[in-house]
Amino acid sequence: MKTSFQSPQQFFRQRRLRLSVVLIILIGIYVTSMALVNFQTWTSIAKIPAGLIWLFHNFIPTERSISYLGPILYQLWRTLLVSISSTIVASLFALIFAILGAKTTTPSPVFRIVIRFGASLLRNIPVVAWAMILLFSFKQSDFTGFLALFFMTLGYLTRAFTETIEDLDAEKLQALQAVGANYFQCVFCGVLPEAASTLTSWVLYMIENNLRDATLVGLLTGTGVGFLFDYYFKSFRYDAAGLIVLLIAILVILLELTSTQIRRAIA
């Protein structure tokens, strides 16, 4: 079908028009939803300075807070270990599931469907819900937190790994088939080396992510640094709670910097 040729002026006028329509729709959605939940934009914005002042006044750590440093660092260390170990264990399982479930390497479409569905289920239950569900079976312990993070990570990484493997150039695997390599040889000599650096990036990202989540999970399972935060907070020791927030932020940033370095080294 050939239409009459469009002038560039017409083309850009139409494009601007389309953009404006999208913008108006977005503003409309915002206004409607704010009205529905009775959210008053201006009065809320006006309250922000006072809120911030209170926050800084109470949560800034003082010299007094230094005495809490020992127990905080100890719990932070445990939380870090739980998030690293849950990520590592989950990534091993995720790798197996991803190889069985990825379009390019699946032994049977049945695996693919089951694994996709299972991973999606695990992933779409929030980590907080996992923690609360598992709390009944495994009580307040580090292991409960470990499991909650494990399930969520397993779901998330299975999906990420599957997509990584599916994004690999299928022709490269065909080249190994052409050599006479069998299934396992193709996976070990082709898929894994090709995907290794991307897979490692995902694992590092999940460790960072899980450290943040571990804090939240700890709040619920009564373990780690999350529990300590909750404890100080409820006993009005806001400066100590503030110190925890600060230390978590520092640790997450350090973790991010380290993983950036590792990623650069293996890329």
Query: Per CB under 8 A, does 37 bind other proteins?
Result: no
Query: Per CB under 8 A, does 174 bind other proteins?
Result: yes
- Interface segment toward other proteins; rule CB under 8 A; list 49-57, 102-110, 188-196, 223-231: 188-196
Distances (CA, A) of 247 to 3, 85, 225, 251: 63, 20, 10, 6
Question: Residue from 44, 124, 140, 197 that binds other proteins (CB under 8 A)?
Answer: 197
Question: Residue from 189, 245, 252, 262 that binds other proteins (CB under 8 A)?
Answer: 189
Distance CA 200, CA 152 (A): 18
Distance CA 102, CA 183 (A): 14
When the beta carbons of 35 and 92 are compared against other proteins, the nearer one is 92
Query: Per CB under 8 A, does 182 bind other proteins?
Result: yes
Could you tell me the smallest distance in angstroms from the CB atom of residue 173 to other proteins? Answer: 9
- Residue 9: partners with Cβ closer than 8 Å, 6 or more residues away: none
Query: Per CB under 8 A, does 177 bind other proteins?
Result: yes
Question: Residue from 29, 52, 69, 175 that binds other proteins (CB under 8 A)?
Answer: 175
When the beta carbons of 45 and 178 are compared against other proteins, the nearer one is 178
When the beta carbons of 81 and 187 are compared against other proteins, the nearer one is 187
When the beta carbons of 162 and 198 are compared against other proteins, the nearer one is 198
Question: Residue from 133, 181, 245, 247 that binds other proteins (CB under 8 A)?
Answer: 181
Question: Residue from 179, 250, 253, 257 that binds other proteins (CB under 8 A)?
Answer: 179
- Interface segment toward other proteins; rule CB under 8 A; list 58-66, 105-113, 175-183, 219-227: 175-183
Q: Are the C-beta atoms of residues 112 and 158 closer than 8 Å to each other?
A: no
Instruction: Write the burial class of residue 148 (CB in 10 Å: 0-12 exposed, 13-18 middle, 19+ buried).
Output: buried
Per-residue tokens: 63: 């010299």
Q: Are the C-beta atoms of residues 152 and 125 closer than 8 Å to each other?
A: yes
Query: Per CB under 8 A, does 184 bind other proteins?
Result: yes
Per-residue tokens: 194: 């090709």
DSSP helix/strand/coil, 90: helix
Note the Cα 37 to chain centre separation in Å.
Answer: 29
Query: Per CB under 8 A, does 22 bind other proteins?
Result: no
Of 98, 84, 93, which is closest to residue 198 (Cα–Cα)? 98
CB atoms within 10 A of CB 221: 26
Residues of the shown chain interacting with other proteins in the complex, contacts defined by CB under 8 A: 169, 171-172, 174-182, 184-185, 187-190, 193-194, 196-197
